[in-house]
Amino acid sequence: MTKIRNKANIQEETVAKEFIKEYWEERSSGFTILRKAELNSNKYIRWKEEIKKKLPIAGLNILDVGCGCGFFSILLAELGHQVTGIDITQSMIEQGKLMLHGASEKINLLTMDAEKLTFDKESFDVVIARNVTWNLTNPKEAYKQWLSVLKSGGILLNYDAEYAKDHHKQQINCAKHAHNQLSKEELDKCHHIYHMLPISAQIRPEWDIQILEELGYKSIEIDKGVGERIYLEQDEFYIPTPMFGIKAVK
């Protein structure tokens, strides 16, 4: 029975992952336009300040997981780091390569699954992600993979939120937020993703802490005030769902 259940779970994850890939492929053009605008906004400046506090030393080798079109990759390169950005969505990577702003010598963008990394073990000083974990089919495996490619003493920085739990509240309150630019079809597909993924039902970041401890991460710190510091204005980048930050050490 266990093997049957495991096979069924794998099939469900495969179906969900393909759906998620297609969703982001369809959104890649509009998503890139928004990220380009964000590069020239006060959000960029605030993110830069946030990350510099966590990573005060320049020259680190950083893996940007779920990089999309490269917003964090560009920011990290400007802070003096060498960055490898990965995303499962090919069109996001293609868009990202077009907007590197002359920082291409410090950034390498690759199409890759966050749950199936192909890098050597202990390749990176830092693994960073923003708004990625919520739409992973197997986030525990992702955390395991990220730990594997971190060097001893390396740092994980993960910024995420309980978007699934907050989805209906956003719809009811009609708060101004980044999703206002999505079509009804795109919103429905996003809603479907929430219901497909087990992580949507977890209490976070408490669930993340438990998994990170099980896997052997150390010095785990949670910051629940990140969103309040970054998203001060209700503009096209605004995210009303409280964002949290996780910092953990290998």
Tokens standing for 187?
């919103």
- The pLDDT assigned to 175 comes to 52
Report the alpha-carbon distance of residue 111 to residue 61 in Å, rounded: 18
- The parts of the chain modelled with pLDDT lower than 50 are 1-5, 172-174
In a domain, 74, yes or no: yes
pLDDT tens per residue, range 79-95: 999 999 999 999 999 99
- The pLDDT assigned to 165 comes to 86
In a domain, 190, yes or no: yes
In a domain, 57, yes or no: yes
In a domain, 2, yes or no: no
Domain holding 28: CATH number?
A: 3.40.50.150
In a domain, 10, yes or no: no
- The pLDDT assigned to 172 comes to 43
Query: What is the span of the domain harbouring residue 231?
Result: 16-249
- The pLDDT assigned to 168 comes to 60
Query: How many H-runs (helices) and E-runs (strands) does the chain carry?
Result: 9, 7
**What's the domain count of the chain?**
1
Sign (positive or negative) of CA dihedral 177, 99, 68, 49: negative
In a domain, 4, yes or no: no
Hey, is 140 helix, strand or coil?
A: helix
In a domain, 156, yes or no: yes
- The pLDDT assigned to 128 comes to 98
- The pLDDT assigned to 23 comes to 95
8 Å CB contact between 241 and 145: no
Q: For the whole prediction, is pTM greater than 0.85?
A: yes
- The pLDDT assigned to 3 comes to 45
- The pLDDT assigned to 239 comes to 85
- The pLDDT assigned to 180 comes to 67
